[in-house]
Structure 1
């Protein structure tokens, strides 16, 4: 296999599998999707991420054919699917509730859709066996849904959805009902299955960690609009707005007035009695403009002594400590009452932790560690 990175969205000649073109969806007076355009490519594991009510489920229901756009068009493989009924689309949807038939065995649940299509017996048998292997359910083929665990039921629903070899599989909060440990395991299974089948997956989730784990690209949504569409690392490292920075992961946001310096950095004056901060930016900032410096806690170094060579240095007291096993997040209160979070890995036993409550500490980070945003 070639080691080229999978990134069709960067190839000008690549044709998207799914195209939303200026799609608007209204329910009465309420606009659920607002003039939205988006391309999704074949073999992608694409995540629609956002808070409740942001429009992500409406997008999915329009792809499935349960809702029609008020205006604009949706294409699948170059064809307008606006008028195509759900059962005639090469699209399958896996619901949060799994919707398995309780009276049927795992085997028959998976075979259900194929039987309805009238698939020939030998082909049907081979396809069901293949799906059982893919989802590692061979041992459970004869059991009923109530005789297997939640995670296994989840895999049965997945096997049933994939049995008909859809071009596109839609997953609506598919791991919502699973506990944390199982969710993690299942995320990796989903990625594995998606890679093996080459099916395009579109997942709806409000869980940022889940989206960051499974997706090739993420669309962060808010109030029916796309805030940013990018790979997980771009969304985390270079968010396009305060909203995206704040929605993904933990972040400190410091608002201040910007002044470009001769050294190509931008100085941020942000609080009375506090030293100015320095950042770099590819965006242009004018003197006196409001800027928002987004800095991740893991990029902030916490130390007992004043650091010698750092672009940004602040002094404060340890106000709170969140111990997360592999790392600790220190909430440090500055003299003006601002709280800045700094994170460090726990390489030593907790009893030997360097800092504790009320300790005086220094926080520092480089000019390139944060992202300066205009809004």
Structure 2
């Protein structure tokens, strides 16, 4: 998605398609959603991301009409949808299990909802043809679900969900059943289809890579609350808490205490016998305030000697090496026992590694390399 052109959330005039206003959902004494407010805009591909039990599926079920909020209101296109039954909403839901009818052909599965709405035959035929083309299933129209692959079944479920042109499509862990390679291909297909149809997609996933790939914006959730809602690059580069930094991708968290040291610059005392490290932050920290520096492994440089100009440099020894083809991740243990990960790109074929186990190495990073967070 080209976010330079598409950013309705940054436009104060834009009206959201979906609006959660102070929504709380309780099941008995358990609070699944805790006073949550969120706006989602038309044509967004919006991801609800979080661990099991964080409330993301409950939010989706409330949008679909399978649950009603205990408090607060949910609006779709400006209208309160509480109490509107699922089949009367301009919303469709695609389940993780796909829920295809095994005895119906691909064509009939896609036509099912249109027939139930008693649409005229020519209209059904035109719409099904359009959906088959969109999901590249024309060749499989006469087959039954058990005669096609998992990835194709996934596309049939998608075509059936989109056939009635819903304003909003809800996708519950839609790629969970696919293997990794197919899942990656399908992510791009989903983005392509979403772009072509202009339908607003809301996807529930616990797979951070998936959310970061497909979404225009991501809401990271924990225990029924929104921890951060932002574009994938902001979530990754500027997490607002240790929880978000730690949940998305690999990260080093260095805890210490901050001392102001020039404009928006801080000295962080973090381990006995280690020089303080320096970091910048637009958020102000008081002298002695507890803080944590979150720094991604790819921002940490590994070298045999201490780099002359390095602002932040620590020495340790290589404890572990993870070779992932295009990158290698070095786990380096410092004298204090802290382990810091550094990543290097493998641009050449490796005949021999620059560093191996137990080698003494230096790790360094710039003053702006990490994000300074409150404890």
**What is the TM-score of this pair, normalised by structure 1?**
0.99
Partner SS for 1:356: coil
**Structure 2 residue aligned with 1:55:** 55
SS at match of 2:84: coil
- 1:252-278 CA-to-partner distances (Å, cap 9, x unmatched) read 000001100135410000000111100
Over aligned residue pairs, what C-alpha RMSD do you find?
1.0
Q: Which residue is 1:261 aligned to? A: 261
Question: Contact 2:3 / 2:216 at 8 angstroms: preserved in 1?
Answer: no
More deviation, 251-260/349-358 = 349-358
Q: State the match for 1:79 in structure 2.
A: 79
Partner of 1:296: 296
Give the conservation status (yes or no) of the 8 Å contact 2:264–2:282: no
Separation in 2 of the partners of 1:129 and 1:367?
57
Deviation at 1:336, TM superposition (A): 1.2
Q: Unaligned 5+ residue runs, structure 2?
A: none
Cα distance in 2 for partners of 1:145, 1:94 equals: 16
How far the C-alpha of 1:4 sits from its partner, in A, is 5.5
| Aligned equivalent of 1:364 | 364
Q: Match for residue 350 of structure 2?
A: 350
1:204-215 aligned at under 5 Å gives the runs 204-215=204-215
Q: Which runs of 5+ in 1 are unaligned?
A: none
Q: Number of aligned pairs?
A: 374
2:32/2:55 contact within 8 Å kept: yes
**1:186 is aligned to 2:186:** yes
Question: 1:316 and 1:348 mapped to 2: Cα distance?
Answer: 25
- In the TM superposition, residue 91 of structure 1 has moved relative to its aligned partner by 0.1
Give the superposition deviation at 1:349.
2.1
CA deviation string 1:113-157 (max 9, x = no partner): 000000100010000000000000000000000000000000000
- 2:94 maps to what in 1? 94
Q: Distance in 2 between matches of 1:38 and 1:265?
A: 33
